Amino acid sequence: MQAPPPRARAVRAAGPPPAVTRAAYGTLPGGAPVTRWTLDSGTGVRAEVLDYGGILHRLDVPDAAGRPDTVVLGLDTLDDYLADTAYLGALIGRYANRIAHGRFALDGHPHQVPVNDRGHALHGGTEGFDRRRWRATPQLSPDAAALRLDLRSPHGDMGFPGTLDVTAVYTLDRHGTLRLELTARARRATPVSLTHHAYFNLAGPAGGPVLGHLLAVDADAYLPVDTTAIPLGPAAATAGTPFDFRRPRPIGERIGADHPQLLAAGGYDHCYVLAPPPAGDPLRRAARLHDPRSGRRLELWTTEPGLQVYTGNALDGSLRGPDGTRYLRHGAICLEAQQFPDAPNRPDYPDPVVRPGTERRSTTEFRFPHLRAAAPGPGAGSR
């Protein structure tokens, strides 16, 4: 039985007002400048976002004793991000996860996306939204600091049909909740799955593997995959398998089990089928993460139907953080709220197509309940 963490130090309601600041971060090969935007809640939580890739560069969160550290993996320089193939902290699109062989047909017309992962298209192809410079606009209110990012993806971009206008809004409120709102508007029918690819380590990037973190996923089914990470078909029940996280379990408890799905991926890299949202509120809890050492807790709430759980199986020490820390295998976990992988080819999956005159909206919140546990007064939580 885990010993209880130290009593949480609450995020204070009083303090400086939220703020947004900016600093130069480098220049892209074509000469365009990249800016690092800092969202400060005024109550101890800070987020740094780049307008290249919409990358969440840092997310500083106090632990249960009030000591701050970033809880996401980041890189040192813009050149490091330009060379990165692990999608650290990036916004992902036009289609997150994989499309088998990069091919799909829509309304009778075939389309081909460049393949970049074992013969399949991953995260939008070779030049996805993580490789784009987004237009940034800071936004402020008395209770939150926000950054709006806009991107236009033209017709034929990476083989996808139709011009797509995408907006991403990062909002950090005074309770320490980081909210990401994604909106996509299409001029002709196109499949869309947008997600965020933060690598979380609640002990801090130098905290070692996350195998001791406790994970809970609010799902009783997941999508088994073949040896190239393409879904095999219908969802499978998690009960009685190493994929059952309906109650909190250490990530490392069964990650090395003799199970074909774990052996093929080198750990967890699977999409969980989330329970339908409650009536009247499309935002529901999808996952909880807890580091007993630091006392930090994370809850992910989302409107998306799927959650890809990836345990950093391909991290091999070649990437380093700003402090020189090497990012090793299982050194972080990604919790990627998204549409189902390969859904453009699977009519039995939720429909990922956005059509003219409609828009796809999704919201994901990263909440830190250990900061709110002792917050004074009513309404201390974000919801």
Is 109 considered catalytic here?
Answer: no
**Mean predicted confidence (pLDDT) in 174-191:** 98
Can you list the pairs that 135-139 forms with residues at least 24 positions away whose Cβ atoms lie under 8 Å?
Answer: 135/51, 136/35, 136/37, 136/51, 138/20, 138/22, 138/37, 139/20, 139/169, 139/171
pTM: 0.94
The overall average pLDDT reported for the chain is 94
**Mean predicted confidence (pLDDT) in 123-136:** 98
- The predicted structure's pLDDT at residue 14: 63
One DSSP character per residue, 271-330 reads EEEPPPPPTT---EEEEEEE-TTT--EEEEEES-SEEEEE--TT--S--B-TT--B--TT
Residue among 11, 155, 146, 153 at smallest CA distance from 94: 153
Residue 87 domain-assigned (yes or no): yes
**Mean predicted confidence (pLDDT) in 135-152:** 98
Residue 43 domain-assigned (yes or no): yes
Of 290, 336, 365, 370, which is the active-site residue?
A: 336
For residue 14 the two structure tokens come to 């009083």
Residue 78 domain-assigned (yes or no): yes
CATH (domain of 75): 2.70.98.10
Q: Per-residue pLDDT tens for 238-250?
A: 999 999 999 999 9
Count of residues making up the chain: 383
Residue 41 domain-assigned (yes or no): yes
> What percent of the chain has pLDDT above 70?
93
Q: How many domains does the chain contain in total?
A: 1
Q: Give the bridge partners for 188, in sequence order.
A: none
Residue 12 domain-assigned (yes or no): no
Q: CB neighbours of 182 closer than 8 A, spacing ≥ 6?
A: 91, 166, 167, 168, 194, 360, 361, 362, 363, 364
For residue 169 the two structure tokens come to 């809004």
Q: CB neighbours of 246 closer than 8 A, spacing ≥ 6?
A: 216, 217, 218, 219, 220, 238
Residue among 148, 141, 137, 149 at smallest CA distance from 18: 141
Residue 212 domain-assigned (yes or no): yes
Is 253 considered catalytic here?
Answer: no
Residue 59 domain-assigned (yes or no): yes
Enclosing domain of residue 191:
19-372
Residue 245 domain-assigned (yes or no): yes
Q: Is residue 5 scored above 60 in pLDDT? A: no
Of 197, 270, 290, 330, which is the active-site residue?
A: 197
What's CA 236's distance to the chain center, in Å? 23
